[in-house]
Amino acid sequence: MSLAYQPPSILPGFNDPVHEAQTVFRQLLEAMSHPGVIVDIETTAESPGEMSESMTALALTLFDADTPVWLDAALAERASIADYLRFHCGCPITQSPIEAAFALVGSVECLPRLERFSMGDVQYPERSATILMETPQLTGGDAIVLTGPGIATTRELDPVGLPDWFWSAWAVNHGAFPLGIDAIFTCGAEFCALPRSTRAEV
C-alpha cells in the first residue's frame, strides 16, 4: 500500500503493491499461456464483500485509471466494493458492459450474454473486454474439452455454475478470433484462464 491516507472503512490492498502485483501478473501470464490450468494465488490483500481472494488480487494487479470496470448486480449493490476499487486502483466504474475493459461478475449464474461486452475491433483487437467471474467451484461440473495454443493435445475444464448457454456462446466468441472477450474463472484463492484463442467442446 502507498503512504496515502486510507479511509478506515476501506479494507487494505497489497502490503507490498509492486512485488505482489508483479507476482500475480506472472501467474496470470502463466494461466493465459496454459488455458484451463488452475493457479493458486497467495495474497495479503483483504477481499471486500463478494469478491474472492483471487478476484481481488487480479483486480489490484490489472485495474488502473485507464481501465473502465463494470460490476454485476451482486457486486454493484455493495458500495464498499466500488469504493475499494476506486481507492486502490483508481479505476472508473462504468454502468455499461460495452464500455468496460474489465468486468467483475460475482455471481456466474447471472453472467450477462457475452455479446454485451466489447469484442474489440479489427484494428485494435486488444480493446476487447476481459471478464473475471466467480464460480462456486473450478472443478466438478460438466467436463469441457479444450484445444488450442498452450495445450499440447487436449485439456479438460469443468467449472461449476456456468449458465446453460455459455459454451455455445463461447464457440461464437472463439470463432471471431482475433476479436473476442477473454474469460477468467475465480474461486477462493484459485483461478484459471480461458483466452479467446481457446476452442471448447462439450
- The verdict on residue 119 lying in a domain is yes
Domain that holds residue 21: 17-201
> What is the model's pLDDT at position 7?
65
Q: Provide the mean pLDDT of the chain.
A: 94
**pLDDT of 51 above 80:** yes
Quick check: is 10 in a domain? no
**Three-class SS of 75-100:** HHCCHHHHHHHHHHHCCCEECCHHHC
User: Does residue 46 lie within any of the structural domains?
Assistant: yes
Identify whether 1 is part of a domain: no
Domain count, the chain: 1
CATH number at residue 81: 3.40.50.11310
Q: Is residue 7 part of a domain?
A: no
Q: pLDDT tens-digit profile of 86-116?
A: 999 999 999 999 999 999 999 898 899 999 9
Residue 86 lies in a domain: yes
Q: How far apart are CA 135 and CA 98, in angstroms?
A: 22
Residue 92 half-sphere exposure toward CB, CA atoms < 13 A? 11
